[in-house]
Amino acid sequence: MTEPAVVQNKKMMEQRKQTADQPSPRKAPLSRRFLLFVKERPLLFAAICILLTVTMMSLLAGVIAPYSPKAQNLYATYQPPSWEHLMGTDSLGRDVFSRLLYAGRVSLWVGFVAVGISIFIGLILGLAAGYFGGLVDELIMRLTDIMLCFPSFFLILAVIAFLEPSLVNIMVIIGLTSWMGVARLVRAETLTLRERDYIAAARLSGAGSVHILLRHILPNAIAPVIVAATLGVAGAILVESSLSFLGLGVQPPTPSWGNMLMEGKEALDAPWLSIFPGLAILITVLGYNLLGESLRDLFDPRLRR
């Protein structure tokens, strides 16, 4: 082999070594993959910006709001939007912008707590049904089918009719009536995962059922649960707003987007009372739906382009 050929071969080997040392895009950390994923999808970026804005404005309502949400001024009722009142005032002279910010706390709190309850119940029942099978699976799935026979919103209305309308009752009832989809998702994932070789190896090593479920199955079945939780927050916010609009949810004077819409229904000559709460619900729910769909693309390789 001539000397130029040796030099050329050496350069090719060095290039191959440098290429091998570079991290593969498939082996990149999840945070970097997520940033690349966000960069390529403007809708996901918009959803994150919307949700961050809504969340921060709600959490910092005590700092941002120019007035107390319950402060009344009967000399300034039904004032249109102005520099003094950015979103106008209502029938009692309360600042709509301040009430909108504090109402965001209520809606987000209901969404997260209700979804937390439904995810907790759905995870336990789905894991038990998928892993143990047999009679346990039959009982849990038949209970799920019975719960799915009733329209969720009307079931919530029926339960609320026998209880005192309060924020705690709403969160608990929404959580207790929305776990069925999560249970089915987790059961389907568990049925697939329990047949894997590493699960059989864990059983042979003497690991108990609880250890296998929490250590091996749950981490691998959590991806669809995260997507369901994101979409569930949007659904819970809509349910709470609907109940408050009907007078069965959060009770005045505590502000929520739903009861603010109800107040706007009674004042047709003050459209800002309905426009701003409606836009808040629309933008927040749209943000969570876009986030959920994008996370589904991220976690599911079959949907990844």
Rounded Cα distance, 208 and 206, in Å: 6
Is pLDDT at 221 greater than 90 in this prediction?
no
| Phi, psi dihedrals of residue 196, rounded to the nearest 5° | -75, 160
In a domain, 143, yes or no: yes
Give 164 or 22, the one with higher predicted confidence: 164
Going by pLDDT thresholds of 50, 70 and 90, the confidence category of residue 215 is: confident
Is pLDDT at 24 greater than 50 in this prediction?
no
Give 299 or 79, the one with higher predicted confidence: 79
- 67: domain CATH number is 1.10.3720.10
In a domain, 124, yes or no: yes
- Among 183-192, 204-213, 249-258, the range with the most confident prediction by mean pLDDT is 183-192
Beta-carbon contacts of 123 under 8 Å, excluding residues fewer than 6 positions away, are: 182, 186, 218, 225
> Helix, strand or coil for residue 89?
strand
> Helix, strand or coil for residue 60?
coil
Q: What is the sign, positive or negative, of the torsion defined by CA atoms of 169, 281, 271, 256? A: positive
Is pLDDT at 40 greater than 50 in this prediction?
yes
Is pLDDT at 299 greater than 80 in this prediction?
no
In a domain, 24, yes or no: no
pLDDT score of 23: 47
DSSP structural state of residue 290? H
In a domain, 82, yes or no: no
- Quick one: what percent of the chain has pLDDT higher than 70? 87
Nearest 10 degrees: Cα torsion 293, 298, 300, 302: 100
Average of pLDDT values for 124-148?
90
Closest C-alpha to 54, from 258, 287, 226: 287
Alpha helices in 133-196 (DSSP H): 134-149, 152-162, 167-176, 180-193
Going by pLDDT thresholds of 50, 70 and 90, the confidence category of residue 112 is: very high
Is pLDDT at 49 greater than 80 in this prediction?
yes
Q: Which range among 32-46, 178-192, 273-287 shows the weakest confidence by mean pLDDT?
A: 32-46
Average of pLDDT values for 103-122?
92
- 184's tokens: 């089915």
In a domain, 249, yes or no: yes
Q: What is the pLDDT of residues 265-274, one digit of tens each?
A: 877 788 888 8
pLDDT score of 284: 93
pLDDT score of 169: 85
pLDDT score of 25: 45
Going by pLDDT thresholds of 50, 70 and 90, the confidence category of residue 116 is: very high
Is pLDDT at 195 greater than 90 in this prediction?
no
Domain with 245, as residue range(s), is 38-74+87-299
Alpha helices in the chain (DSSP H): 3-21, 30-40, 42-59, 61-64, 96-132, 134-149, 152-162, 167-176, 180-193, 197-204, 209-212, 218-245, 257-265, 272-299
- 244's tokens: 């408050």
Average of pLDDT values for 75-102?
89
Average of pLDDT values for 179-189?
91
> Helix, strand or coil for residue 222?
helix
For residues 178 and 232, the answer to whether their CB atoms sit within 8 Å is yes
In a domain, 205, yes or no: yes
Domain count, the chain: 1
Rounded Cα distance, 280 and 237, in Å: 11
In a domain, 10, yes or no: no
Give 92 or 35, the one with higher predicted confidence: 92
Is pLDDT at 129 greater than 80 in this prediction?
yes
pLDDT score of 200: 83
In angstroms, the first-to-last Cα distance of the chain is 46
How high does pLDDT run on average in the chain?
83
Closest C-alpha to 255, from 126, 72, 116, 51: 72
pLDDT score of 20: 47
| Predicted TM-score (pTM) above 0.85 | no
Q: What is the pLDDT of residues 281-292, one digit of tens each?
A: 999 999 999 888
For residues 87 and 97, the answer to whether their CB atoms sit within 8 Å is yes
Q: Which range among 36-45, 58-67, 137-146 shows the weakest confidence by mean pLDDT?
A: 36-45
